[in-house]
Amino acid sequence: MMKKVKGIGFILSILAVFLLAACRGSDDDSTEENGETNYSEAVDHTIIGIEPGAGISVATENALEEYDNLDGWDVELSSTGAMMSELGTAIDNEEPIVITGWNPHWMFALYPDMKYLEDPQEVYGGEETLNSLARLGLEDDNPDAYQFIDQFEWEVEDMEEIMYEAEESGENIEDVAVQWVEDNQDRVDAWAEGVNDGNGAEIELASTPWDSERASSNVMKAAMEQHGFEVTVTEVDVAVVFESVASGDVDATLAAWLPLTHSEFYEANQDDFEDLGPNLEGAKIGLVVPEYMDIDSIEDLEAD
């Protein structure tokens, strides 16, 4: 009889261990609801962003105000490199992540299975262009440089090709841009059509310190230097890009994201520079997630 009691006690002890483990498993799976992942809890109600003050960073801070379902969310602002590192780790482990994303960027070449979340409130706007801006008086002072910059245009895929090659090879974007110019001479010839030799004329371009703008500025530098200009690219904060062109401290920039991303800086200085129009069309910004996340809209995220 005693042996039977001990046997029953042992079985009950085993059952208790399984029940306790099940309860703990239920706590650990708090991000699961009805078998579906609660992505908002899984990412700790946090959007991974880039540098403070960047146009997309400002837009994302606005999104937290405009979307009621983003109440209690935070945007983690640090750097583009830090964001890409976290994205890579999440994708390697097939974990949820919400980031600030934009085209052109090499992230979409490296991780093609990414998607923008729909933006019903249009906080991020629609498609954007990258416009060239010139200081007032450049056309009179150096009509050939002005014409070269005015005729510059290329595609999203061109810019992403340069950024991706630089990332994969470890080469500087400046060097990759020089090679791209050599490999795409027909494009350069089109930009230079009707332009006389620069005869050593010095031209300064303002650029933001982001790979997209480094690509365009250094392609322009290499192309113009083929035609006798001496070109300097100066990297500054985005606000200073607009201020420096407006003040005439630099000759031009290729880095104006419009109509939304840089609207604040554009509107503050628009009477003091000349807008030469788009040099690239089809740019876009917004919140981006991996395809394996079963959500399609910012409104699919949940408040904290």
**What pLDDT is stored for residue 31 in this prediction?**
59
52 upstream amide cis, omega within 30 of 0: no
Q: What is the pLDDT of residue 109?
A: 85
Is the pLDDT at 182 greater than 90? The verdict is yes
What is the pLDDT averaged over residues 131-144? 98
Confidence of residue 290 (pLDDT cuts 50, 70, 90): very high
**pLDDT (tens digit, 9 = 90+) per residue, 77-103?**
999 889 999 999 999 999 999 999 999
State the alpha helices, DSSP H only, in 130-251. 138-141, 143-151, 156-169, 173-183, 185-191, 211-226, 238-247
Say if residue 132's pLDDT is above 50.
yes
Q: Which residues have a Cβ under 8 Å from the Cβ of 111 and sit 6 or more positions away?
A: 87, 91, 290
Average pLDDT over residues 265-277: 98
What pLDDT shows up at residue 32?
A: 59
Q: What is the pTM of this model?
A: 0.79
Q: What is the pLDDT of residue 210?
A: 86
Instruction: Report pLDDT for 34.
Output: 56
The residues that bridge with 235 in the sheet, in sequence order, are: 207
248 burial (CB, 10 Å; 0-12 / 13-18 / 19+) is middle
Per-residue pLDDT reduced to its tens digit, 39-53: 999 999 999 999 898
Q: What's the pLDDT at 36?
A: 79
Q: Helices in the chain by DSSP H: which ranges? A: 2-28, 39-42, 55-66, 80-92, 107-110, 138-141, 143-151, 156-169, 173-183, 185-191, 211-226, 238-247, 263-269
pLDDT in tens, 153-174: 999 999 999 999 999 999 999 9
User: Distances in Å between the alpha carbon of 276 and those of 34, 43, 230?
Assistant: 54, 42, 21
Orientation of helix 211-226 relative to helix 143-151, angle to 10°: 130
Res. 54 pLDDT band, cuts 50 70 90:
confident
